[in-house]
A = this chain, B = another copy of it.
Amino acid sequence: MSARDKAISSTLGYALLGLLAREERSGYDLTQALKNPVGYFWFAQHSQVYPELARLETAGLVAHTLIEQADRPDKKVYRLTDMGRAALSAWLNADTELPRKRDELVLKAYSIWLADPAAAARMMREHAQTHAAHLAEFQSGLSNLEGEAGAALWQPDSPWFGVHAVLRRGIGYEREYSEWCEWLAQCLEGTEKGSP
């Protein structure tokens, strides 16, 4: 097991296994999938995906079939093996370390007393809008999901439930972030909000 564990270098491996647990995909498809809902909380470039897939295959956690295509480049479609599914389960049960956050905007907020208040307020308003836009995307994503998945959205053994959970997190995160930006902007403009 110790030799096998080393096969999965980083968390990215489990991200890929989690995607393959739902359906077979090529490296290209996996890279695309790492943008929508999963990708809101884990991201990777294709240059990271292809080598990782090779490592996973060496470890016996995934296997691929070459699909020859006429009008497009050939592709390798990967699927999860039994060992891969077991590895994914083991990871799910293992302890999860807290993520260390690195957020440049919050870091700027720490030094915002040195900035021009009006300009800073404008900046925070822009970010509030950006996060509000993300929020709206997630919310419409959830709406679509309700249409597609129906009651399965609430069944803990349904793959839709996983998407649901991630979307809810995204919604909460973006809402909070947007509100914080708005709050800061108002403070900077002198129209304080919130009790002292």
Contact B130 A108 (CB under 8 A): no
Contact B165 A112 (CB under 8 A): yes
> Contact partner of A156 among B113, B146, B158, B165, CB < 8 A?
B113
Contact A114 B99 (CB under 8 A): no
Q: Mark A32-75, 1 if CB is under 8 A from B, else 0.
A: 00000110111100000000000000000000000000000000
Q: Which residues of A contact B (CB under 8 A)?
A: 11, 14-15, 17-18, 21, 37-38, 40-43, 85, 88-89, 91-93, 96-117, 119-120, 123, 127, 130, 146, 151, 153-154, 156-159, 161-163, 165-166, 168-169, 172-173, 175-177, 179-180, 183-184, 187-188, 190, 192, 196
12 A-B contacts, Cβ less than 8 Å apart? A14-B107, A18-B110, A41-B102, A42-B102, A88-B111, A89-B115, A101-B101, A106-B166, A112-B156, A113-B158, A173-B173, A176-B176
